Structure formats: C-alpha cells, structure tokens
C-alpha cells in the first residue's frame, strides 16, 4: 500500500526521503516520487519503477532541507510517472503526497476543469494541490499578501483545512508550499500518519518503519487531525475543532529500532521472519504464564474473573492471515474453555448488519493494526455496544487505539507482505486467552499446567522445524511446477490447511485451495489426478486413521500427497512426508503451520517470485 515520508530540518532532505521510501518498499508499490524545495523552487523527481531508480535519477546538488516523498500503489489511474506522487498545482507552488482514496474525486476534478484548471494526471490526489493553491491565492488576494507569508487566516494549514472540508474519503497527506519553506502540513483521516520528533528536525511518515533510523519519539495522528510541523515544533488541531484546540501531544517511544528492519544475512524478509519465530514466541509468552494458578496473565484486556466468566461466546474478526489466525484461535479456545468460538472476515462482518451480542467478546485481529476493513468492523461493533479487544502487533496503530485494550503480539516489526511470525504470535496469544478463559471455567489446574508447559516448549519445537528447512525445501522444489494444489485438513488441521493454502498462493502464485477432508468426496475429488498434489495435515489426534484413509483415497485416484504429520503414519503411504514435533494436542495448529510457511517460501523461491512483495498485494490494506 502507498507510503509517505516528509522531512523538515537541517539535513539534506533528498537522501532522508529516499531512505524513508526504501524502508516503506515492503508495503508494496508500483511507482515512487519526491519533491524538495531547492532555492525557493519545487524540484520534483518521479519514477514508474523502484525507489532505487529514484535514487539514481536524483540530482546530487539539491541540498534542500524540506521535502516530501511517496511510494504509490495505483488506485485512480495506471501506474506511470505522471500519476506518481507528489502532485502539484499548475504554478508549481504546492506539492502533495496522499495515501487513501478521495471518494468525490470525480466531482472535484470536474469542478476544477470547469474553472479552467488543466489536470495532468488521472489521480484523485492532484485536485488537492490545485484546491490548496486556490485557497491560498484567494486568501492572499483578499489580504493583499502577495508573498504568501503567514498572516491571520492565511496559513497553509488553514488553506489545507478549507480544502479538506470539500473532500470525502480516506486520506493521510502531506503538503509542501514553496512560500512556506519552514513547514509541512499533514492530515489524517483513515490512513495512518505518524510524526517523528528529532532534534531541530521533524519527520513524517505513514509507517514508523520509515522513521526508526532517525528517531524513536513519535506521535500518531488521530483521524480528523491536522498538524503543522516545523524543524523545532509542531501543533496538531482537529479539522472540525478550529484553532482553539491546538495542542502539543506527548510523544510515545517506538518499540523497535533500525536493526529490526535490516535484512542482516538473509536475502529476504520472509525467510528472516520465519527464522525469528522462536524469539517472537518467547516474547509473546514473556510474563504471561502464571505457574501458581496454572493460568495466563493478560493485563491488557482489562477483564477480571467475573467479566471473563460472563463471556458466552468469542468471535474473531480479521482479514487474510489474521482471519485464519482467528480460526486457529477459535479452535483452541473452544477446546480449552468450552465456549463457542468462531472467526469471520472483518469485511463480511461490517457489511452484513451483524447481530451484536453483549455477552460475546469480539477480538479484532491485525498485524498492522491499520487494515481498514478490520478497523471499520471495530467501529461498527462499538456503535452497537459490543465488547471488543484488539490483537495487534503495531503498538499505537489505529485498531489498537480504537479498541483501547487487548493483547499486543510482540512479534517485532514484520516487513514481508506474507505474515509469518505475527500469525504465529496471534495463534499463541489466543492459546493464552483460551487458557485464561478455561481456568475461570472448567479447565482443571492439571490441564492448565499441561498447557503452560506445552506453550513453553513451542519455541524449541519451532527451532527443530527450522532445522528441517532443507528437507522441506527439497519437497517444495519437487512439487513447484504444479499449477494447482489442495490443502486438506480436518478439525485442528483445518485452519492450518487454510492458512497454508493462503501462504502458497500469496507468494508463489500457485493456485491453492483448502478443503476439509470430509468434503473431498463431495466434489473436489473430481479434480484429483497426477498433476494435482495435495498437502494433507495429520495432527496427532483421534482422527489419524481418518486422515490416513483420506490419503489413500487421493492416492487411489493417482494424486500425489505431501503428508504434514505430527502423528505416526504408515511408511510409504505418502509421496513425501514432513515430520513435525508433537506438541500438546490443542497447541498443534501453531506448530503445524510453520512447515507450510517454509514450503510456500521455497516454492516461491524456486519459481523466482518477488517473495517479500508479491504482485498486487500490500502489507496492510488501508483502503476499501
């Protein structure tokens, strides 16, 4: 998804902006650009390629100290140089970078064209530059302030606010005015903007990843908030609140540093993040296991024993992998706490006028904490009086703040588009929630202890799986030419199959479909033949014999089988076997998922895919 950076200070702005954009590349983009103020004039550089092309194109002698930059993920208009941001007004006074979608863009474009303005791009962003310039010109004309210096009512901020009152839709934006060379104006409505506070310099970005190299002191803008930032100060105000509400907010410290975003010895982030899982798991468990009462400690959810006992149902809401993690969570919680639990895609939930039950605990699941569909579902829930907690990885993100309470995932920054360590930490966090809910109900202390020790074993067991990477890679290479694949599971294996198929299709573009094993014979069996491999998931549960018979059914029809098994299965039954260490049965989905990440990774690697930035996908989808 699009990325924004901005800088005002003493440094050479262009390299700072390029570095920031480079840090945002992981979000997915198709073009990039930046604008700096050089000797009173805008200098705009754009490319329909990568940030590296932008770096190559830049003139080295700018020495500008004010600028804005952008990586674009096309929505309005194809990805080309003209449509890349920043966008400017006709005179080249104003430059704007924007994330999100302006919904009344067509209307704004038509209005401007009606007034004789020539629009050069097809974007929904360009109108903003013309409108802000027009607001400034009109205000300056009426005060006779031709050089545009601040006078009462003619600030850049005021012009931006006046413009935004005509704008419908979602935005995070940064505005540069050549006649206000000491400042940038930023605004947020539905698309994240974070300010980074340095010493005599100020940064702005859509994601802290762009900032951590320079500062860890940040301020997350709220929806409807506008700010003017200068090298040494900033003020925020509400779009609808007027000047009286101006405030200086207390910064928060980001829980990550530049190293977390470095590849180190790895070639790509996905593999690095797969290998970080043992550590990520340890962090998710840290301080949360209570040996004395054989339960979990989750202070952030803010629910006491009575509240926990009153919960009649758990419902997870998320998108993509976060939804599948919710499905794993629902499975684990039903088992540990015997409370009905399920998961639903957040987008479905918000569009279907759901019945919101006050005794249901809703859990909004999101790595980024910025996914628009999930955020909207939370807002809808709150409107209807539902109780909702967040399960997010990025502290300070919109969903975390909107929920106000929840479970932080502590996976550390996740850069690759395909979620691995965050997903694992989601599932383990839900096991903790299940343990906590179970222990205020029927789960015995002995079972609680068993789960606690099972959780403690997970990091080492994941390590064992990682040691097996080469073997899994060999299997991946053997089947990499398949055009389609089935992922088959039942009960505990079912959410694992769904997430496994998701991982494969996301990064390798091999068509993968998950099916419940029992459903095979009701349709999909017709597709089984020698070019259609199936990954069959076999946890060590009561259903091993059934899963073995599923493999036999597939084999009988000539379909190759990769068995992913923590259980013992007959020798020679499957064409390939990936062995997984045995965990406590309820926790097995967490472990079984890891080899499927590795399988997908090595399939994609063999096929030469851009693993961290799969085509058409973005790390967090902050627009509809």
Binding stretches for ligand G6P (CB under 6 A): 319-322, 366-368, 371, 374, 417-419, 617, 620-621
Specify which residues 317 forms β-bridges with.
344, 364
Distance CA 512, CA 492 (A): 19
Distance CA 409, CA 422 (A): 7
Distance CA 454, CA 444 (A): 15
* CB of residue 93 to ligand G6P, shortest distance in Å: 37
Compare residues 219 and 621 and give the one whose CB is closer to ligand G6P: 621
Compare residues 119 and 617 and give the one whose CB is closer to ligand G6P: 617
* CB of residue 380 to ligand G6P, shortest distance in Å: 16
Residue of 345, 351, 317 lying closest to 502 (CA atoms): 345
Residue of 207, 139, 133, 137 lying closest to 176 (CA atoms): 133
Compare residues 295 and 372 and give the one whose CB is closer to ligand G6P: 372
Which of 2, 46, 272, 403 is the catalytic position? Answer: 2
**Helix then strand then coil, % of the chain, to nearest 5:** 40, 20, 40
Residue of 416, 159, 443 lying closest to 293 (CA atoms): 443
* CB of residue 327 to ligand G6P, shortest distance in Å: 13
147: Cβ–Cβ under 8 A, 6 or more apart, which residues?
179
Compare residues 45 and 419 and give the one whose CB is closer to ligand G6P: 419
* CB of residue 614 to ligand G6P, shortest distance in Å: 8
User: What are the CB-based long-range contacts (under 8 Å, 24+) for 42-47?
Assistant: 42/88, 42/92, 42/93, 42/95, 42/176, 42/178, 44/86, 44/88, 44/95, 46/81, 46/82, 46/84, 46/85, 47/81, 47/84
How far lies 98's CA from each of 37, 69, 129, 175, 620, in Å?
Answer: 18, 10, 10, 9, 16
* CB of residue 495 to ligand G6P, shortest distance in Å: 14
Compare residues 465 and 623 and give the one whose CB is closer to ligand G6P: 623
Q: Cα torsion at 97, 98, 103, 108 (round to 10°)?
A: -20
State yes or no: is 521 an active-site residue: no
Distance CA 14, CA 200 (A): 17
Element at 226 (helix H, strand E): strand 225-230
How far lies 226's CA from each of 68, 101, 232, 239, in Å?
Answer: 16, 17, 17, 6
Distance CA 166, CA 103 (A): 11
Compare residues 293 and 351 and give the one whose CB is closer to ligand G6P: 351
* CB of residue 502 to ligand G6P, shortest distance in Å: 8
Compare residues 268 and 335 and give the one whose CB is closer to ligand G6P: 268
Give the number of C-alpha atoms closer than 13 A to the C-alpha of residue 107, restricted to the C-beta side. 7
> How big is the CA angle at 264 (ends 262 and 265), to the nearest 5 degrees?
150
* CB of residue 288 to ligand G6P, shortest distance in Å: 21
* CB of residue 419 to ligand G6P, shortest distance in Å: 5
* CB of residue 616 to ligand G6P, shortest distance in Å: 9
Compare residues 54 and 507 and give the one whose CB is closer to ligand G6P: 507
State yes or no: is 2 an active-site residue: yes
Give the number of C-alpha atoms closer than 13 A to the C-alpha of residue 397, restricted to the C-beta side. 30
- Contact yes or no for 421/412 (Cβ under 8 A): yes
- Contact yes or no for 362/380 (Cβ under 8 A): no
Give the number of C-alpha atoms closer than 13 A to the C-alpha of residue 579, restricted to the C-beta side. 10
What is the SS3 assignment for 335? helix
* CB of residue 384 to ligand G6P, shortest distance in Å: 21
Q: How many residues does the chain have?
A: 624
* CB of residue 322 to ligand G6P, shortest distance in Å: 4
* CB of residue 377 to ligand G6P, shortest distance in Å: 11
Compare residues 419 and 593 and give the one whose CB is closer to ligand G6P: 419
Distance CA 505, CA 465 (A): 22
- Contact yes or no for 562/595 (Cβ under 8 A): no
- Contact yes or no for 148/179 (Cβ under 8 A): yes
- Contact yes or no for 621/421 (Cβ under 8 A): no
DSSP type of residue 29: -
How far lies 82's CA from each of 47, 102, 137, 601, in Å?
Answer: 9, 18, 25, 35
**Helical axes 156-164 vs 126-143, angle rounded to 10°:** 130
Distance CA 77, CA 105 (A): 12
Compare residues 87 and 613 and give the one whose CB is closer to ligand G6P: 613
Distance CA 220, CA 232 (A): 18
Compare residues 47 and 419 and give the one whose CB is closer to ligand G6P: 419
Compare residues 139 and 512 and give the one whose CB is closer to ligand G6P: 512
Which of 272, 421, 503, 619 is the catalytic position? Answer: 619
Could you list the active site residues?
2, 619
């Amino acid at each position: 998804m699009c990325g924004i950076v901005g800088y005002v200070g003493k440094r050479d702005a262009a390299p700072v902006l390029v570095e920031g954009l480079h840090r945002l590349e992981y979000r997915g983009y198709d073009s990039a650009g930046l604008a700096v103020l050089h000797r009173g004039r805008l200098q705009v550089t754009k490319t329909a390629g990568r940030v590296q092309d932008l770096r190559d194109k830049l003139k080295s002698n700018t020495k500008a100290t004010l600028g804005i930059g952008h990586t674009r993920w096309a929505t309005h208009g194809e990805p080309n140089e003209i449509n890349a941001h920043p966008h400017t007004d006709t005179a080249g006074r104003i430059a704007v970078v924007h994330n999100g979608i302006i919904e009344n863009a067509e209307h704004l474009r038509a209005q401007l064209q009606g007034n004789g303005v020539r629009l050069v791009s097809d974007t929904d962003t360009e109108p903003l530059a013309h409108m802000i310039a027009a607001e400034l010109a009109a205000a300056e004309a009426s005060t006779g302030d031709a050089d545009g210096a601040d006078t009462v009512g003619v600030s850049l901020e005021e012009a931006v606010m006046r413009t935004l009152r005509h704008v419908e839709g979602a935005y995070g934006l940064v505005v540069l005015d050549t006649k206000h060379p000491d400042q940038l104006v930023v605004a947020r409505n539905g698309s994240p903007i974070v300010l980074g506070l340095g010493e005599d310099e100020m940064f702005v970005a859509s994601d802290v990843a762009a900032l951590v190299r320079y500062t860890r002191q940040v301020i997350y803008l709220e929806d409807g908030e506008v700010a003017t930032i200068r090298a040494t100060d900033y003020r925020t105000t509400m779009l609808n609140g007027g000047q009286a509400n101006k405030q200086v907010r207390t910064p928060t410290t980001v829980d990550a540093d530049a190293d977390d975003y470095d590849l180190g010895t790895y070639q790509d982030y996905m593999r690095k993040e797969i290998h970080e899982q043992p550590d990520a798991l340890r962090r998710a468990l840290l301080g949360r296991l209570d040996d004395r009462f054989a339960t979990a400690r989750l202070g952030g959810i803010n629910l006491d024993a009575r509240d926990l006992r009153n919960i009649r149902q758990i419902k997870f809401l998320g998108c993509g992998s976060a939804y599948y993690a919710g499905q794993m969570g629902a499975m684990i919680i039903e088992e540990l706490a015997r409370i009905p639990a399920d998961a639903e895609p957040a987008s479905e939930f918000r569009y279907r006028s759901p019945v919101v039950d006050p005794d249901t605990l809703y859990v909004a699941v999101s790595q980024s904490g910025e996914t628009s569909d999930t955020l909207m579902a939370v807002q809808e829930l709150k409107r209807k009086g539902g109780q909702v907690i967040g399960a997010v990885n990025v502290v300070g993100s919109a969903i975390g703040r909107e929920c106000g309470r929840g479970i932080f995932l502590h996976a550390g920054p996740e850069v690759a588009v395909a979620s691995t360590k965050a997903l694992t930490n989601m599932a383990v966090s839900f096991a903790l929630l299940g343990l906590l809910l179970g222990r205020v109900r029927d789960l015995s202390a002995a079972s609680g202890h068993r789960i606690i020790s099972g959780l403690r074993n997970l990091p080492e067991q994941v390590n064992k799986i990682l040691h097996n990477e080469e073997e899994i890679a060999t299997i991946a290479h053997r089947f990499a030419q398949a055009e389609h694949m089935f992922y088959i599971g039942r009960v505990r294996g079912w959410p694992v199959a769904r997430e496994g198929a998701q991982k494969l299709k996301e990064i390798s573009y091999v068509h993968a479909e998950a099916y419940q094993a029992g459903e095979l014979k009701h349709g999909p069996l017709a597709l089984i033949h020698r070019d259609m491999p199936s990954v069959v998931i076999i946890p060590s549960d009561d259903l091993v014999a059934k899963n073995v018979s599923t493999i036999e059914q597939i084999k009988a029809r000539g379909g190759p089988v990769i068995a992913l098994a923590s259980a013992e299965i007959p020798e020679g039954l499957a064409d390939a076997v990936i062995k997984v260490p045995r965990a406590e049965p309820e926790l097995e989905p967490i472990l079984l998922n890891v080899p499927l990440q590795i399988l997908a990774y090595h399939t994609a690697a063999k096929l030469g895919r851009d693993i961290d930035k799969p085509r058409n996908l973005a790390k967090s989808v902050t627009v509809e």
